[in-house]
Structure 1
Amino acid sequence: MNPKDITKEYTNGEVTVVWQSGKCTHSGNCVKNNPDVFQPKEKPWIKIDASTSEKIIETVKKCPSGALSYYKTKNND
């Protein structure tokens, strides 16, 4: 496994954010749009419980490289 091509998942029970390090271009969109969740100087760098699922999804959709993606992990009906 290439250490520069890591995939990690972070979940809050409603949504799971998937990060693929090999795709990341470090545009900073995630940090600019949701700094409470995306904190690249911290470990883990995604604090999934620091924001609403809706705002997290909105932020992930703005990732230009596709390094961040998400899937819903809970039915909210």
Structure 2
Amino acid sequence: MAEISDTFIVELQYDEVIVLFALLHRLEDQSALENISQDRAELIALQSLTSALEPLINEVFSPNFAEVIVAAKERLTGLVE
């Protein structure tokens, strides 16, 4: 079993990071995470994931971040929305 101080590396494509961050951030803003789970440990883990993803995104504070998200979704799905 892993020790509590162990860290792990998860490989994601940049577009996956953007879309996942946008989803988690939106759920946090809407307080929807509490509707997904009442388990405090799960909520902490999701918030930690959001915090870990944020510094990986160059455009996170860009005024056109919404467009960046749309473009990332289009590249991931191969669809134009």
Please report the TM-score for the alignment, with normalisation by the length of structure 2. 0.27
Higher strand content, 1 or 2: 1
- Which of structures 1 and 2 has the bigger CA Rg? 2
Higher helix content, 1 or 2: 2
Please report the TM-score for the alignment, with normalisation by the length of structure 1. 0.28
